[in-house]
Structure 1
């Protein structure tokens, strides 16, 4: 028994070795509630010491109340397993963790152990260790580095136990002949390399683990080398199942094998020689960077050491080749694209991938390692912060940069842990609401949201500033732009060579375009001062466009943009003084044809980028409403109001897109912003039409209208290019006859004409374009029915005549504009209609039949057709909609597909299936948002702008397009399997 039990219990010293950090609950009432619940659980489990502590009023009790008030996950563990806390009276947390690590490492040694038994043991032990690691971290008993080391050690122990179990079982069944069954890993030939944060001993609290599995066919344990690929692939698949599958005991670690060579076409376990041949002949620079962190975590250590030794010349090159230099420049461009766009938002910010975040520090360190690690072996370490120290020692960065980035790295990792400790989900995005943000702040010991926000924003800004300085001060890989002469009518040979070197394929045509600028043939370049500014800017422009890898297209789009500019001095001066804006403009021209077309047609939308608060303000409904109200002020004429709405919507769509392009918001937030914008502008158009229509036709007694948003508008998942699906509903007094105006109309005729006027107001082209393309086909009876529907007819149709697909479509219905009181009535009606009992089997059969019909009539154009591909967005939407109709939700109904999938009830689908469906929807919707933002047509992977590919990879946190394609394929196949299981009733 530890001496810990003899220490005082009032401040946590007995448990943590030092007083626990003060973590406050939001209120005294909530603190008392948490402690009362803990005391009840302790008494039920016959744990009198813990019950006494819960009622003690000591700092330790207050600490526990604060933690459980903020973290749903930790609270749940403590209430389910209060004995975990009670054990700390006898053995301090550090000693108990050592004991747990030892138990996990030895979990596979029991005779007669089954796979199910091992899975249960690992999950139980991991849950306790996970809980204690979090508690020590929050208490301040372990710093962030110790926390990530412990989490990594926990993963190592679990992987090792599972590998030893599988090897020993294969030996017992005669599949392998292990040299020493008591030491099954040695001589087995099976190698498990930990990659990413696992390899670097830097796992986060709810991290996936990245593994690569190799095997040596000549290992002593292997009898038939020709069967080894199949054997070790099956063992690897079972390893993933042991670690990842959710059972009643939870899961151990989500496991990712996508970093293996060519994951779309290789087995799960790859022969060593095949892997080495791949890396030496086809390996890419992102794979070199990934291998920096590779570490043997289980299996045959002798083979692992040989593999890593043979990979040394591949990873650590003494000289950089031109392709590697180009890749490093590409990485630098991605980093620069985030720089210099005003203050950074706190709410909704992605701590990992956002501006000034964790990934930027890690990315920079790995890039410098690739450049210099071949010559300086001390730069070959796996851990981020020690490598910052080495870079400073070698003079690559300043001591101040090392200290600042190191401190902020651990600070940001702290915030990441706090986010994940709240619900044990792999999230990196800060909450947008006060309650969520306050919980994060309190878990990290901040007194208020303001204090937390100030510290967080300062850290991000420091990282961003140092990041740019780090790249600017790093050894230069290029010798400057070169010769550029655009005078006269004859091309200068040196200039043609320079343009060619910068990446332009038709240098002579580019010379002709630039001469057009300098000859003052556009309004923007007619003044001498504008031409002087442009001359000074041209080298930087050409370098920025050359870096897009679509240099010719980019500069031709910029030429179109210039042609429409009314003046140029202000823009050229702005670009000269703001390199970040110049790079962003180049990115738009080279990577996002759709956005380029917008600013070419409407150069004024670019003005919105000059707002210094653009990226620090979330484009939520309140933000957009305030700006719309200001923009419409002073508009008197009906036509002027409609034009202003079009201008406002075009500019705000562009600015929401810019936030997505720069990483200031994620795809989910962008979908909500595009939808909020549609709600507001449709509402304003409805008001304008109501006023205008009433001047001629008056009003109908008791007349009220509501716009019911359907499809992606209803689910708040609009994209930059979405049409808008809606239904217009109306009501009036039963006794109402003709309207009251100079040209009276009967009520049905009145609202039909009113709706036609609204359609024209929104979708008719004017000099400012269209506001939205409207689709009213989801109204009762579709195109055959009236364009406006009386609420009674709507109710009757939905109750008696609606097809299953129409009821499924109704699950996304949301009132977006109109009379508030009538809107509440419609909302209640929709809820009642959806609550009506459904024949579960009929819904499933009809949904399956509809999906089959869509597949026959509109087959997908390929893997990247994320909506129509089997297992794509339609499958996911159908699952969510069917769950609403058949009572398959746990919790309140939502119209958002992602939220519906996250709320699927355990009796509708297993928790693991639910999690996989949520993850798949996030992947497909995120890619769709980015593609619709940047492209006017469909995604063609063979002709994708490189900048768009970079953006997709950044948003999915994957290193390569082939890996992303393999992930899409694997995910869609998994979703289709779940779809079939759910709708054929074959799920468990």
Structure 2
């Protein structure tokens, strides 16, 4: 918080507020004169004229509650006038926090003494804060912070007192009587505004209490529920019972699991089981702000960490958005807050109120917090700032809602300041509304009303943009799909919308409404789909070959296990609906992925997805967040499969929408593979060490080959890998319970790694793994010792194996061996070779491929003469002969980068440009087709949308022109290849 040390009440500005009226002013002045007889500071104040005198009189005319405090405790006014605010506020918080502590040579204070101490501290703090708030010496942020600090102190003191009493009566055995809560296993969580340090003057404090019976302080653990239940009833009495000194905080424990059927304190294990199996969406929203405020704080932090996957799911149940919004609708319906007014308006629950701002932030935190740790913030203002930083909302929305939030909190505070009542509703009379207007610093009710309505309407508009349904879509004509026969007018409407076969489309939609698919069996799903149908038809009608696209969507629906979530999402997000139409029109492979794993679509909720490049750091950050809290091996692998599938999908979407180029996609697919393989490698290492221990001094590393090595993976690529290991000559067996010698150890390690990456599970396969590029291919051992690898490459390897090695790259592993492996590969490639022998080997290899793997058609850009293989072989050939020509060879390059680096010295400028242009054309085609279809791409069978996309990417007017261009380019590349690679 801001430093309060220079802030004093006497520094208040002139005319910050006006007194209510002359009558009230006379009453207050008389009261202050009486008080001045006891407090010289007050008497001195009244003698002269000053801003603080005028302010104090005005404040007491406006708040009967403050007048009551002054009458009860006159010394508070003298302290307010003479002592710096931070000193007074901090002193009162500490007074409350220490209320439980025994004094020197005295027994523990009685419950009555604790209650009195807490009430006096709270009353003093509320008085100082109210004056500082009305005088604009502290803003609402600072006021809510201090109120929350006082609540923390009071709850913690009461809990410590109760634990100490429990110890003195023999119910508990504390670990440290000077710190009763430490290690107690008693968890007290502050929820809502308390958890976010946002309490208002008359807030309830919402608490949830859990306990660990095995923490070791219960003398009879089986009586934990009864013991702590009685303790919580006493806690409520200590905090909220009204005595001659007032009360501390009204206390509510109803946010605990199933409050009608559970005790006031719930065992931790029972709570976790409840949230895992039956937790509600509103409970997820509530726990965003949860914070340990008393008891065993370390245990509370651990509990919240364990609960994190419930609050912030790894993927979203889209129906949760509608569910959370329905809570807000129920509030409007039940409380009668359906319109914006001033008189009688509820600034918390009404239209445009505080709750709408909170829901605005919390719902988006629930949506994205599973992936974006930076959104897991408790305070509303901080949440809005984080959403803007993550580009979920724009800066204007953040600023408008933040300003409105604190304005409304100011109004709420002043409503409560009048009589210390727990209310959020503005007065219904002009006279009482005038009181609130003056407390807010306005000169009249109309000026206050105008300012208030401006904020309420701003919030309502922003909230509606996020949550409210769009108005009915205007479609000219009938859309009727009931009965057995087609409605003639509906067929006409479908034709106008862009469908060539309206009868087929009408029949398909009737199938949806009959509930013949699993996704449309429930009444709720059919209702949501019915609402969505006009928008679906309009969107699909605008796509190329609308009938094909909608029929593909129908096939997608037929395979969908449930529909409510997706229909809820699409109904609330027009941009995603348009994207889904694009996928259905152009990318059957992506459509199949959505059908089999609907949660991959979650990532599309991120509004920055098409703007933010999928760089390595971006993917790494997302992966770290996704894996947070995962410890079990199988859970880790499943999380990796989910993450990889989703991110491959999202990279494909970016490519589909031209947000990234094919080159960027290749790099992104490779970075994703690197990160996921690294995590799998580490997980397998941990499993091996748990089962078999470690071999002293041994290390392992993973070499990426092929397109993985050259950063050119596509959506459908497998990964070429070689496992290297090394160990000291005198190394013995591993030191675990089941020891293995080094060869068997790393053979087993490699087998486990292959299984981790390629074994099919319910979450799919991470990557198909190809290890045929290891020494001796499939005949050799699955893992290779570095010394054997070096010997093989130096003495036995064929030229084609050295060609493959030009794309080798150390992907992950132990740092020492990665460095050695990189040096070994670099050394092998620096060998001077006979140019003619290399050319002969490369030519023979290319001829063998021509003979054994002929291309399927002109679009088989990898295998066609003059295709990708020619370009890759050319780059590899140049890398192998470069040392003999005295040319340095860089490592870790793409094929294009390698050709640029080496080709300038060995290929003419025009031929090099031809090769690079061909490589771009082939890469564009390969990346797009691998993203959009499984297996080989056949133009005649491709969806119209895919052909449109391909023509756009390749800048060709039609398919015939593209085929002609492919023939021209491939012929030129084959000529250059034959000229460069001369035997």
Normalised TM-score (structure 1):
0.50
Which one has the largest radius of gyration? Answer: 2
Normalised TM-score (structure 2):
0.50
